[in-house]
Structure 1
Amino acid sequence: MTQASQTQVPVTRRRPTARVKDARRFQVVAWCVALACLLPMAAVAIAAMTGGVDTITHLGQTVLPRYARTTIYLVLLVSLGTFSIGVGAAWLVTMTRFPGVRFFEVALVLPLAFPAYVLAYGYTFLLDHPGVVQTTLREVTGWGPRDYWFPEIRSLGGAALMLVLVLYPYVYLLARAAFLQQSSSAFLAARALGDSSWRAFWRVSLPMARPAVASGVLLTVMETIADYGTVAYFGVQTFATGIYTSWFSLADRAGAAQLALCLLGFALMLAVAERLSRGRARYHHAGKQQAALPPATLSGTKATGAIILCALPVVFGFLVPLVSLTLMGLNSEQNLLSRRYIAFITNSLTLASTAALVTLLAAVSLGFYQRLQPGRVSSTAANISRLGYAVPGGVIAVGLMVPFAAFDNALDAWMQANFGLRTGLLVTGSIWLLVVAYMVRFMAAALGAYEGGQATVHANMDAAARSLGQSPLGMLRRVHLPILTPSLLTALLIVFVDVMKELPATLIMRPFNFDTLAVQAHRLAADERLEGAAVPSLVIMAVGLLPVILVCRQVRRRS
C-alpha cells in the first residue's frame, strides 16, 4: 500500500486589478488635494500660536476690538439688506404677476457680474464730494461745501450698500427656487384659517423656505468678511484690511497670522452654522399632490409698487454703475490696446484659465473618488476641500506664504552653505503657488457643480461600463465626462470668473511685476485715478457677465 505523495501548491499573490489601481490613484490625488486645502488653515494656526502673546496682546489693546466691531456691523448690515431685497424680489416674481415680471426674473441676477469694489469706484465717481452729483448740486443751488449735508459714500454704510447690491442675487436665486418648489396646500390652509396674504407669507411660506434663505444669507456673509477691495477703498477697517496692513505696511507676519486666525475662526463658525441650518430644517407636504401656488395678479398701485421694488436693485446694482464706469472710461487716458494693458489682460487670462483647469481636475478627482469608494473616508476628503470657500483669500494667502517662505529661506541657506549658490524664492514668488491659493479658495464651487451633474449619472451606467470591461479611468473618460460636459463647463466658467475678480490673494501672492486687471484697477483707485480704474473694471465686469448669462438661461428655463 503506497501513500500518495502530497504536493505543495505554491501560493501566488494576486496582482491588483486595474479597478483597484485606478481607485488608489484617485484616492491619492483626492487626499493630496484635501491636504493642500487644509495646509493654509493649519499654517495660519501654527504661525499664530508660535508668534508669541505680545503681538496678540498689543492687537487686543489697540486695533482688534475695532476690527471685530466693524466686521460685525458690516455683516449685520449686509445680512439684513440681502435678506430684504433677495427674499422680497423672489416672492414678487414667483408669487405675483405684474407688467414686466418676466424681465425682472432675469434682470435681478445681473448685479452678480460686478465685484463689489468695482461698484465702489463707480459710486464714488458719482457721489463723492468732487463727484458728478454733488458738483451739479452746488452749481444749481450756489451752495458752498459747508452749506449742505450729503451722505458720505466712503463709510461703513457705503461699503455695506455696495456689498448688498452685488450679493443679494445669491439670496434671490435660492429663495426663488425654494418658493417655486413649495406646495400651495399649507399657504391656502393658512388663508382659509383667516390669515391675510402677508401674514400667511411670514407664518408659512418664509419658514418653509428658511433653509434656502439662510444658506443664501450666510453665503453673502462669508463673501462680506472675505472682501478687501471695497472696505480698503472706503477706509473701513475690518479684519481683511488689518491682515493686509499687518503683512505689507507693518511687516508683522505674526500679527497678520493672528488676525487671519481670528477671521478664520469666524468664517468656519459661519460655515458650521450654514451646515446646521441646512441639516436640521425639514418640511413635508401633507399629501401626494404638490400643486404650485397660483400667482396673484397685481394691478394699479400694487403693480406699480412691485415694478418699483424690483427695478430699484437692477437700476442701482447694474445700470447706474455700468453707465458711470462707461462715462469714466471714455474720459480716461487708458488704452486697452497698449502693451501694458495687453500684459494685464494676458496675465489675468493666464491665471484664471490655469487656476480654473487645475481646480476642475482636482474637483473631478475628488468627486469621482467619492463615486468609486463612497463612505466616511472619501466624504471627509471632500468636506475638507470645501472649507476653502469659507476662508477669505487673504487668510489663504498668509497660510500659504508662511510655510513656503520658510521653505524657500531654508533651501536658500542650505544651498549657499554647501554649494555657494543662491536659489532665492523658488516657490513663494511663483505663479503656481498663487494657482494653489485659487484652487483652495474656489474648490467648493467647482466640486458643487461637478457633484450636481454627477447625480444625474445613474449607478446602472457604472455597472454596465464595468460589465463591458471598462476600468474606472475608462469609465470616467468614456461615460461620465461626455455626460457631464455641461456641468464641467459651468464649473470651469465659475472658477474662471471668480479668479478674475479675486483681489486679496492676488495682491499678496502675485509674482513681482505680474499685475492683473484687478490689481491695476485697485492701484489706480487707490491713487484716486477713478477714470483710469474704470477701464480694467469694465473688462472684469464684461467677463463676469458670462456666468450671469448662464444663470439667467437657467432661471428662464425653470420659469
Structure 2
Amino acid sequence: MSTLAASHRLSATALRRALNGAPLWSVAVVTCIAALVLAPLFSLVRIAAQGEATLWAQVTADILPAALLDTGLLLGGVALLTGIVGIGAAWLVTAHRFPGHRILAALLPLPLAVPTYITAYIYVEIFDAAGPVQMALRSLMGWSSRGDYWFPEIRSVYGCVFVMSAVLYPYVYLAARLMFLTQSASMIEVARTLGASRYTLFRAIAIPLARPALAVGLSLALLESLNDIGASEYLGVRTLTVSIFTTWLNRGSLAGAAQIACVMLAIVLALIVMERRGRRDRRYALSTRRPRVTQPVDLSGRQRWLATLFCALPVVMGFVLPIAFLLREVFRRGLAEQIDEAFVGHLLTTVGLSGAATIATLAFGIVLVTASRLARLRLTKAALAIAGIGYAVPGTVLALGLLTPLVALDTSLGSLWRALTGERIGLVLMGSAGGIVIAYLIRFLPIATGSLSAGLERVSTGIEDAGRILGARPRELVLKIQIPLLRPALASAALLVFVDCIKELSATLLLRPLNTETLATLVYGHASRGAFEDGSLAALVIVLVGLAPVIQLVRSAETGPGKAGSAGSRGGTMPSFRAGAEKSAPQAPKTVSFRAPLSRPRNDMAIFPTRRSSARSAAPP
C-alpha cells in the first residue's frame, strides 16, 4: 500500500510539473472547449469522405467551377472596393480637415448595423427594372422599355460586390483609422521636411505602418462575404455558400454539400494564412505617456469638397438609403399594425435565442480566458487558438458539420432516458432551439474570448502575484480579481455577441426547428416570396438593434490615440479585432495600491511605459 501511495504521489508531482503549476481543471476545460469547436469540422470531413467517387466527380464537374468563379469574383471585388473606400475614407478624416470631417468620421462605421441580406433586398427594390430609379429615368427620358437604355444590373456578381462593399467597408475603415490615429507624428514630419507629397506620405509611410490592421480588416470583410447566404442567393450569385445550401436542401445530397463545404474551409484557411502573413508578427507601438500624433492638414479649393463627397457617399449608400427605405415602407404600408401576437412571438424567440447564446458564450469565454491565464502552456495557447476558428467558419458550414454530433448526442440522451424511465423523449437538441444556441456559441465564442483576452492582458500580473503571495487559490483569483476587472470587457462582448446572434441568418435558417421563426428568417421568408416590403418592420428592428454596438465602437475609437493603441500591440487576430480593437482597458481600483515584492509584472511595458517603448516600429523598409 505504501508503494502504491508513493507512486501516486510521484505521478501527481510529475503532473504538476508538466502543467507548470497550473490547475488541472483549467487545462481540461480549455481542451474540452477546443474539442467542441473541432467536432463539427471533423464531422464535416467524415460526411464528405462517405460520399461516392461518382458524387465528387459530379460536384467538380457541375457545381464547383461556377461556384469557385463566382466566389473568386465576389471576394476579389469586395477586397478591392472595401480597401479603396475604407482606407481612403480613414486617411481623409484622420489626416485632413474638410467640411463635415468630424461628423463623417463618426458616421462612416454605421453601415455595419445593416446586415448584407437586408441591404441586398432593399437595393433590388430600389434599382431593379421595376424600382423607382429606373421608372424615374424612363419617365424623364421618354424611354418605353428596358431595351431603350442601359442600366447596371443589380442581380449580378458585380451588383453583389457593390452591395456587400457598401456594408462591409467599415471593417477596413475602423482598422485603418485606428492605426492612422496612433502613428507617430515624427515620421510624417520628417517626410514632409524632405519634400514628400501628400500621396507619398499616404503610400510610403501610412499604408506600410497600418498593414497589420488592414490585413485584419480585409480578412473580416472577406469572411463575412463568404458567410453570407441571403444577399448572394437573392442577387443570383452562385457562391460556395449558396451551392452548399442548394445541394443539401434542393438536391438532397448531404455528402455533396459536405464536399463543397470542405473546399470552402480550405478557402477560409487560406484567408487566415493571408491575414497572418499580412501581419507577420510586426509590432507597432506608441508611447502611452505623451502621445503626439499627426495634426490634420486643411484641404483647400475643390479638394475639400471632393473629400466630403468621397466620405459622404459610402454613408449614404450603406446606411442612409437602407434606413430611409425601411422607414418609408413601414409608414406607407402601415406596418406598425404587424405588431401582433405572432410578431411579438417571433421577437421573443429572437431575443430568447440570442440571450441564451450570449450567456453561454460569455460563460465559456470567461472560463477559457481565465483558465488560459492560469495555465500558460502551449496546450492552452493552442486550445485558445482553436476556439478562435469558430468565427472564421461560415454559418452554413457550421450547421452542416453539427448535424451528426447533435444527432449522436440526441440518440445517447434518448437511450439513457429510456433506460432510466422506460419512455422516449425524441430529439432534444435537433427538435428544439438547442442546436441553434450551440451553433451561435461556437461561431461567436471568439468575439467573447477576443474582448476578454484583450482586457485581461492590460491587467498587470503583479496583481495576481500579490494575491498568490497572500494565499489566494486559483478560484479566488478568478472570482475576486480577474472577473471584477473584466466587467467593461464583459459588457462590450455581451452587446456584440447578442447583436450578431440577432443578425445571423445562415445557421439559423438550417438548424431551426419547424414553425420557429426569428426576425432574420422572417425577413428572409418575405424576400423569398417576392414581398420583402412586408418584412420591413422586422428588418428595421434588426438594424436599430445593431446600431448599439456600432455606436459603442465609434465612441471607443474616438477616445484618443493614447487609449486607442497600446504599447506593443500587434494589431490583433481576426476574432480579437472583431470583438473590439477599440476596447477600453479595465484598470485596478485606485484605492488598491501595492507592489508585488517577489515578482516583476511580465507586461510592465504596457502598464508602466518607459522611454525605450516609445514610437518603436518594425515596419519593412
Q: TM-score, normalised by structure 2?
A: 0.83
Q: Report matched runs for 1:429-508 at 5 Å.
A: 429-508=431-510
The alpha-carbon distance between structure 1 residues 415 and 369, as it changes in their structure 2 partners (threshold 3 A), is: closer
Counterpart amino acid of 2:241? A
Q: Is the 8 A contact 1:98 1:303 kept in 2?
A: yes
Q: Is the 8 A contact 2:30 2:372 kept in 1?
A: no
Q: Is the 8 A contact 1:450 1:487 kept in 2?
A: yes
- Which of 366, 369, 392 is matched with 2:368 structurally? 366
Alpha-carbon shift at residue 252 of structure 1 (Å): 0.6
Secondary structure of 1:427 counterpart? coil
Distance in 2 (CA, whole Å) between partners of 1:87 and 1:449 is 24
What is the count of residue pairs matched by the alignment? 549
Which residue pairs with 1:46 in the alignment? 46
The alpha-carbon distance between structure 1 residues 409 and 333, as it changes in their structure 2 partners (threshold 3 A), is: farther
Counterpart amino acid of 1:181? T
Q: Report matched runs for 1:155-554 at 5 Å.
A: 155-281=156-282, 291-332=292-333, 334=335, 335-405=337-407, 408=410, 423-554=425-556
Distance in 2 (CA, whole Å) between partners of 1:450 and 1:198 is 38
Which residue pairs with 2:71 in the alignment? 71
Secondary structure of 1:150 counterpart? coil
Distance in 1 (CA, whole Å) between partners of 2:547 and 2:122 is 17
Q: Is the 8 A contact 1:108 1:310 kept in 2?
A: yes
Bigger mean CA offset, 137-146 vs 257-266: 137-146
Counterpart amino acid of 2:537? V
Secondary structure of 1:209 counterpart? helix
Alpha-carbon shift at residue 514 of structure 1 (Å): 1.1
The alpha-carbon distance between structure 1 residues 126 and 368, as it changes in their structure 2 partners (threshold 3 A), is: same
Counterpart amino acid of 1:72? G
The alpha-carbon distance between structure 1 residues 469 and 336, as it changes in their structure 2 partners (threshold 3 A), is: farther
Alpha-carbon shift at residue 409 of structure 1 (Å): 6.3
Distance in 1 (CA, whole Å) between partners of 2:117 and 2:551 is 21
Aligned-pair identity in percent equals: 38
Distance in 1 (CA, whole Å) between partners of 2:67 and 2:8 is 62
Which residue pairs with 2:126 in the alignment? 126
Q: Is the 8 A contact 1:185 1:290 kept in 2?
A: no
Distance in 2 (CA, whole Å) between partners of 1:409 and 1:460 is 49
Which residue pairs with 1:110 in the alignment? 110
Distance in 2 (CA, whole Å) between partners of 1:166 and 1:238 is 18
Q: Is the 8 A contact 1:187 1:201 kept in 2?
A: no
**1:34-70 CA deviation, whole Å, 9 max, x = no partner?**
1111111111111111212221110111111000010
Which residue pairs with 1:4 in the alignment? none
Distance in 2 (CA, whole Å) between partners of 1:98 and 1:141 is 36
Q: Is the 8 A contact 2:78 2:165 kept in 1?
A: yes
The alpha-carbon distance between structure 1 residues 24 and 148, as it changes in their structure 2 partners (threshold 3 A), is: same
Distance in 1 (CA, whole Å) between partners of 2:6 and 2:170 is 65
The alpha-carbon distance between structure 1 residues 372 and 282, as it changes in their structure 2 partners (threshold 3 A), is: closer
Alpha-carbon shift at residue 289 of structure 1 (Å): 9.2
Distance in 2 (CA, whole Å) between partners of 1:265 and 1:518 is 28
Alpha-carbon shift at residue 317 of structure 1 (Å): 0.8
The alpha-carbon distance between structure 1 residues 188 and 347, as it changes in their structure 2 partners (threshold 3 A), is: same
Counterpart amino acid of 2:279? R
Counterpart amino acid of 1:479? I
Distance in 2 (CA, whole Å) between partners of 1:211 and 1:419 is 58
**1:74-123 CA deviation, whole Å, 9 max, x = no partner?**
00000001100110011011111122221111111111111011111221
Distance in 1 (CA, whole Å) between partners of 2:293 and 2:232 is 42
Alpha-carbon shift at residue 427 of structure 1 (Å): 2.6
Q: Is the 8 A contact 1:106 1:555 kept in 2?
A: no
Distance in 1 (CA, whole Å) between partners of 2:471 and 2:427 is 48
Which residue pairs with 2:568 in the alignment? none
Which residue pairs with 1:25 in the alignment? 25
Q: CA RMSD in A?
A: 2.9
The alpha-carbon distance between structure 1 residues 420 and 139, as it changes in their structure 2 partners (threshold 3 A), is: farther
Alpha-carbon shift at residue 296 of structure 1 (Å): 0.9
Which residue pairs with 1:5 in the alignment? none
Alpha-carbon shift at residue 456 of structure 1 (Å): 2.1
Q: Is the 8 A contact 1:98 1:298 kept in 2?
A: yes
**1:181-228 CA deviation, whole Å, 9 max, x = no partner?**
212333333334443221232122211111111111111111111111
Q: Is the 8 A contact 2:182 2:286 kept in 1?
A: no
Q: Is the 8 A contact 2:428 2:434 kept in 1?
A: no
Bigger mean CA offset, 98-107 vs 381-390: 98-107
Q: Is the 8 A contact 1:74 1:156 kept in 2?
A: yes
Q: Mind listing any 5+ residue stretches in structure 2 that lack a counterpart? A: 562-621
Secondary structure of 1:545 counterpart? helix
Distance in 2 (CA, whole Å) between partners of 1:234 and 1:395 is 21
Distance in 2 (CA, whole Å) between partners of 1:390 and 1:508 is 18
Bigger mean CA offset, 325-334 vs 19-28: 19-28
The alpha-carbon distance between structure 1 residues 280 and 461, as it changes in their structure 2 partners (threshold 3 A), is: closer
**1:142-170 CA deviation, whole Å, 9 max, x = no partner?**
32223222211111111111111111111
Alpha-carbon shift at residue 331 of structure 1 (Å): 3.2
Secondary structure of 2:389 counterpart? helix
Counterpart amino acid of 1:205? A
Distance in 2 (CA, whole Å) between partners of 1:274 and 1:484 is 28
Alpha-carbon shift at residue 529 of structure 1 (Å): 0.6
The alpha-carbon distance between structure 1 residues 461 and 301, as it changes in their structure 2 partners (threshold 3 A), is: same
Secondary structure of 1:511 counterpart? coil
Distance in 2 (CA, whole Å) between partners of 1:374 and 1:420 is 47
Distance in 2 (CA, whole Å) between partners of 1:282 and 1:426 is 48
Q: Is the 8 A contact 2:179 2:210 kept in 1?
A: yes
Secondary structure of 1:152 counterpart? coil
Distance in 1 (CA, whole Å) between partners of 2:420 and 2:559 is 66
Q: Is the 8 A contact 2:22 2:375 kept in 1?
A: no
Alpha-carbon shift at residue 298 of structure 1 (Å): 1.3
Distance in 2 (CA, whole Å) between partners of 1:490 and 1:419 is 44
The alpha-carbon distance between structure 1 residues 14 and 399, as it changes in their structure 2 partners (threshold 3 A), is: same
